[in-house]
């Protein structure tokens, strides 16, 4: 017995699917993945250099394996990571089932907090205590990078993130690009798609997945902060 599928209905003149690129075979797909949990410094004294490039923790390696499994069934055309070790190692796990080695891009590194002081310095020692406490208090409410003293300016950080990700999209049109980076980088791009100037409108969980599809005219967010692959035991921020 031959089963004949019914013909697909044509799109209406004002289709609600077309503006969201539903069913598009030519759209570029960008999957943004935050790195796995890093090994946090254990010193009681905050030294900012200790926080710049830690390796994955044991939990972080498990998270990397989990997100790799979640992305294993879908073909990946281009795999990119920042040059920080926690992103490189997470991307390597994602690339293994696909036989891909991540392309490392320095421009996708996290915002360089306190970059203008030495790595062994504590920024709280360099400005008046009242100003330090005021900046901390305002950051909790405003979540603006420029409240961190001695750091990379927010506009400079956002510009390098957008130039890099938009450049990848232009260079690999119609492809599936997986970018393994950092919470600030992911916020910079998604904020631009949403049309907001917020520096951090959400905190991605470690190895969370966010998806965007785009063409020359439209950019659409398909998901933000997917973390079903982690379960409760591996869910960290």
CATH number (domain holding residue 39): 3.40.50.1240
The percent of residues in the chain predicted with pLDDT above 70, rounded, is 100
203 within domain boundaries: yes
Q: How many CB atoms lie within 10 A of CB 6?
A: 5
The half-sphere exposure of 172 on its side-chain side, counting CA atoms within 13 A, is 20
34 within domain boundaries: yes
Q: Identify whether the C-beta of residue 56 lies closer than 8 Å to the C-beta of residue 86.
A: yes
128 within domain boundaries: yes
Average pLDDT of the residues in 179-206: 97
Full residue range of the structural domain in which residue 93 is found: 20-226
pLDDT in tens, 33-60: 999 999 988 877 777 788 889 999 999 9
51 within domain boundaries: yes
136 within domain boundaries: yes
Q: Identify whether the C-beta of residue 91 lies closer than 8 Å to the C-beta of residue 180.
A: yes
> For residue 212, which of 202, 222, 204, 203 has the smallest C-alpha distance?
222
HEC string for 34-46: ECCCECCCCCCCC
Domain count, the chain: 1
Give 8's pLDDT tier (boundaries 50, 70, 90).
confident
């Amino acid at each position: 017995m031959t089963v004949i599928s019914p013909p697909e209905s044509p799109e209406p003149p004002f289709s609600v699917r077309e503006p969201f690129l539903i069913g598009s075979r030519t759209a570029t797909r960008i999957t943004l993945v935050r790195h796995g949990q890093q090994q946090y410094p254990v010193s009681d004294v905050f030294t900012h250099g200790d926080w710049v490039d830690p390796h994955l923790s044991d939990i972080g390696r498990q998270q990397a394996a989990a997100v790799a499994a979640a992305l294993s069934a879908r073909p990946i055309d281009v795999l990119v990571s920042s040059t920080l070790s926690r992103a490189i190692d997470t991307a390597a796990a994602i690339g293994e089932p696909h036989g891909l080695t991540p392309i490392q891009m320095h421009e996708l590194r996290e915002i360089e907090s306190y970059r203008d002081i030495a790595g062994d310095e504590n920024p709280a020692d360099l400005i008046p205590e009242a100003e330090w406490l005021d900046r901390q208090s305002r950051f909790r409410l405003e979540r603006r990078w420029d409240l961190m003293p001695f750091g990379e300016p927010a506009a400079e950080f956002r510009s390098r993130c957008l130039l890099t990700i938009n450049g990848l999209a232009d260079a690999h049109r119609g492809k599936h690009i997986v970018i393994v980076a950092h919470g600030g980088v992911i916020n910079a791009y998604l904020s631009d798609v949403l049309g907001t100037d917020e520096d951090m409108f959400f905190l991605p969980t470690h190895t969370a997945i966010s998806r965007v599809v785009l063409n020359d005219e439209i950019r659409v967010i398909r998901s933000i902060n997917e973390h079903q692959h982690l379960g409760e035991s591996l869910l960290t921020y």
